[in-house]
Each structure stands twice: as structure tokens, then as C-alpha cells.
Amino acid sequence: MASTQAAIVDRIEALIEALDRTSLIGNRLRASRNEDGADFQEWAEQSDTAALRRFQAIDIGDEDPPEVSNTTTDLRHFTVTILVAYPHTARYGSSQALDRRRVMNEDWGRINGTAGIGIYGRANFSGDYDCTPLGADREVIRGASCDFLEIRARFSYYRNVTFASSAWDASFSADFGG
């Protein structure tokens, strides 16, 4: 079944928000509303109290040329970047930065494994979200008042390319904002 990058990103957000917490029980992972200029890192640095475990999942626009194509579908690959904010506060435990890093590692494991953003998550993506997770990696970005867990996840999906169909127009509009 054909999908769109926008639908896949929406599914990623839903999967992450549905995660059970193993630490900081009262502070769940919540998607950013992408207000104003949608500069998530700038907002988190300025709003460190509200930024705890807030995340942004975005398609970074690196779609590769089709690996396979016919008259109805293309096989595409693209990357989604997920940024999760962790303010430099004492909310993680008595060990401060060490506990913050522990929480980041726990969240990485849950996002990559349980939410299925990594290579074992194929079962979480079907129907309108049909794609294949190709793997994910992570990096910690240090900020002035927040640290950020940056996850880069690759996906492959089939996109409808029947040029005369309204389905292709909808897919193109969803992927490219047209």
C-alpha cells in the first residue's frame, strides 16, 4: 500500500506519545506544537520548564531518488529527525546530570525499541502508515539550558506516482506542502 512521508511522521509522533514511562512517571513524552517559527531547539532553550521531554519529529527533506519505480509506485527512502528536550534542572534525581543522561538513555531505548522507530518496528507501520524502518542512531546535543536527544531514523516506503490521479496530488501535497 502506498503511503506519504507526512503520514509516517504522524505515526511516529503517535507511537512516541503512547510510550509508558519507566522514569519521571509524571512527565510523559509530548509532541511539540511547532508554534511560531517552529524552531524547537530555540524554544526549548528559552522555555526549559515547559520543555521537559517535549519532542519534535520532522522529515528533514532528504528523500533519495526512487530505488524502484513503475507506472504506479516508487520505492523511496527518507530520514526523520526526532529531537527530545531535557532541561538542565534537578528534576531527574539527586545525581543531576548523570540522572538526566540515564533518563535520556531510557527514552532512547523505548523510542528505538518499544515504539518501533528502529529496525524492529515494522509491525507498528501498516495501512496508511505503511513503511519499513531501516534503523536509527542517536546523538546527544548539549545546549545552554537543555540537552537534546537527537534520533535520526531512516524509512523506506512506496509512494503513489500515478500522475493523473488525485491520490498522487494528495500524496505530493502531503509530502511537499503543495
Q: What is the model's pLDDT at position 166? A: 53
Whether residue 178 is contained in a domain is answered as: no
Whether residue 176 is contained in a domain is answered as: no
Whether residue 128 is contained in a domain is answered as: yes
**pLDDT digits over 73-85, tens only?**
888 899 999 999 9
Q: Which residues pair with 84 in a beta bridge?
A: 55, 149
Whether residue 177 is contained in a domain is answered as: no
Q: Which long-range contacts (CB under 8 A, 24 or more apart) does 64-71 make?
A: 67/156, 69/161, 71/161, 71/162
**pLDDT digits over 71-121, tens only?**
788 888 999 999 999 998 877 666 777 888 988 999 999 899 877 888 888
Please state the domain count of the chain. Answer: 1
Whether residue 158 is contained in a domain is answered as: yes
Domain holding 105, by residue range, is 5-59+68-171
Whole-prediction pTM: 0.82
**What's the length of the chain?**
178
| Cα atoms found within 13 Å of the Cα of residue 66, Cβ hemisphere only | 13
Q: How big is the CA angle at 9 (ends 100 and 138), to the nearest 5 degrees?
A: 35
